[in-house]
Amino acid sequence: QTLQTIAGSMGSTQAFETLLRQWPLQWQKTVATLQQGFAFTMQLQANQYAEHQSSATKSLGSVEQILWDDWSQNRVNDALDELIHNADDLRLPVTPLKQPLTELRNKTASIINSATGLEVRQALANPGSNLQQVFLKFSLFCEIVLPVCAMGLVGYTVFQGYYQSNITHQNYLGIDFATHSALLIALSWLIPFFMRKKLKPSLQKAVLKGLQKGLAKGLGEIDYAVTQILEDAKLQRLSYSQDIDQLMLSYRQSNETVNPVDTDSTLSRMLTVKS
């Protein structure tokens, strides 16, 4: 009876399955709340970083630390408390869940800060989309090559004009040629330069993109950690349940087993004589 009581207090596999189905829906609501609450904060932090590029390292560190605050921590705590409450409603043991969930609470800020810090740095290292990066490299290439080609063309024309003037005794190239040549060289550099300036990714957008991606990644890690805790508790319950079933089976077998009477024993000989 004691073993049956212990087995009953451990809950059922179906209850764990129900809890595992409830958690993603519950966490999605928490994530939506956090993302709405962080929308203004992330925009503000991105603007501040763009305005203080001279102290980029210090500004970047403040972005990572200020993002996660007491309000966001309380939202996560509420979600974990609701998870424990749901487990209790399903008659599951909550003690094995409280300790790992408490450890996760204490690591939440570190998880989010690490994820956002890494993603922001990666976003700043490679700002903009892949297509934007291709156009930037192309415009930089044109900014260098086109003026060189234009100067080469002007130089070749000057050399040809000087050579022809010596042969035909005509006038050298005039002021119009000099003006047009200067405009050609200037435009060959100015157009790619203007394109590169316009295509250059905004640091503000890069930081904002990194914060959003890092927040999503960090929240995903928390979700995975909670799911893993529930899976471990489920497997632990299954292992304990199998051990209890084995003990109960052994107990029944020991009660049902009757030792046969030995034919060589004194009791057997006495029964034979009486018969």
Tell me the per-residue pLDDT of 136-151, one tens digit each, with 9 for 90 and over. Answer: 888 888 888 988 898 8
Q: Which of 147-151, 194-198, 226-230 has the lowest mean pLDDT?
A: 194-198
What DSSP assignment string belongs to 47-64?
HHHHHTGGGHHHHHHHHH
Same-domain pairing of 154 and 211? no
Same-domain pairing of 158 and 248? no
Same-domain pairing of 114 and 237? yes
More confident residue, 115 or 174: 115
- In angstroms and rounded to an integer, the radius of gyration of the C-alpha atoms of the chain is 39
Same-domain pairing of 66 and 49? yes
**Domain boundary pick from 175, 200, 225:** 200
Same-domain pairing of 84 and 104? yes
Confidence band, pLDDT 50/70/90 cuts, at residue 258: very low
Same-domain pairing of 145 and 231? no
Residue 261 has pLDDT above 50, yes or no: no
d(C-alpha 68, C-alpha 142), whole Å: 44
Q: How many domains does the chain have?
A: 2
Same-domain pairing of 61 and 124? yes
9-30 pLDDT, tens per residue? 455 778 888 989 999 999 999 9
pTM of the model: 0.66
Quick one: pLDDT at residue 166?
65
Which of 55, 58, 63 minimizes the C-alpha distance to 113?
Answer: 63
Q: What are phi and psi of 66, to 5 degrees?
A: -80, -25
In a domain, 262, yes or no: no
Q: What are phi and psi of 91, to 5 degrees?
A: 60, 40
Same-domain pairing of 73 and 113? yes
**Residues of the domain holding 97:** 2-128+202-256
Token pair for residue 242? Answer: 């199998």
Quick one: pLDDT at residue 173?
66
**Domain boundary pick from 177, 200, 223:** 200
In a domain, 94, yes or no: yes
Quick one: pLDDT at residue 136?
81
Quick one: pLDDT at residue 196?
81
In a domain, 264, yes or no: no
Same-domain pairing of 48 and 20? yes
Residue 92 has pLDDT above 50, yes or no: yes
In a domain, 272, yes or no: no
